[in-house]
Amino acid sequence: MRGSADDSGCVDADAVEVGRALTNLLVNAIRHTPDDGTVEVSATMAADRALFAVADRCGGIPPQDLPRVFDLGFRGEPARTPEGDDGPGQPRMRSGIGLAIVRGIIEAHGGAVSVHNQPGGCRFVVALPTS
């Protein structure tokens, strides 16, 4: 994992909720990146927005799925849907709500979240207004 951050701005937000959204993106990136891959995290400022980005090495999301990844219940191709369980008696969550929650939290804070493919993976970007 690699990370970088600017410290030149401030966001007025619920730290717990925005932290939940960013953690969800980070956990997804780790889950879908091969063991020999790298997850990159960055925080930068652009005009009146704070940008938080999480890039993975998942191989990319099929282009036809990109507009739908934040839709409630959307799970994408079977390769991106986890199999198995999380322990005895604990079925692995496969409901497709994680990215919809991310979008809801970020939009509730006046921001936006997007995703695009890049060589070898994809990059999620959260943009929040600065105070």
Q: List pLDDT tens digits, range 14-25.
A: 999 999 999 999
Q: For the chain, what is the mean pLDDT? A: 84
Q: Which of 69, 55, 121 is nearest to 97 (CA)?
A: 69
Residue 58 in tokens? 């998942």
Q: What is the pLDDT of residue 79?
A: 44
The pLDDT of residue 56 is 95
How many other C-beta atoms are found inside a 10 Å radius of the C-beta of residue 131?
Answer: 10
Q: Which residues contact 88 (CB under 8 A, 6 or more apart)?
A: none
pLDDT of 48 higher than 80: yes
Question: Per-residue pLDDT averaged across 43-68, rounded?
Answer: 92
Examine the pLDDT at 89 and tell me if it is beyond 50: no
Provide the pairing of β-strand 49-55 with 112-118: unpaired
Residue 9 confidence (pLDDT) above 70: yes
For the cut 80, the answer to whether the pLDDT of residue 95 exceeds it is no
Residue 65 and residue 12: Cα distance in Å, rounded?
A: 32
Residue 42 CA to residue 28 CA, distance in Å, equals 16
Contact between 111 and 27 (Cβ < 8 Å): no
- % the chain with pLDDT above 90: 60
The C-alpha angle 88, 101, 99, rounded to 5 degrees, equals 80
> Whose CA is closest to 37, among 60, 22, 56, 62?
56
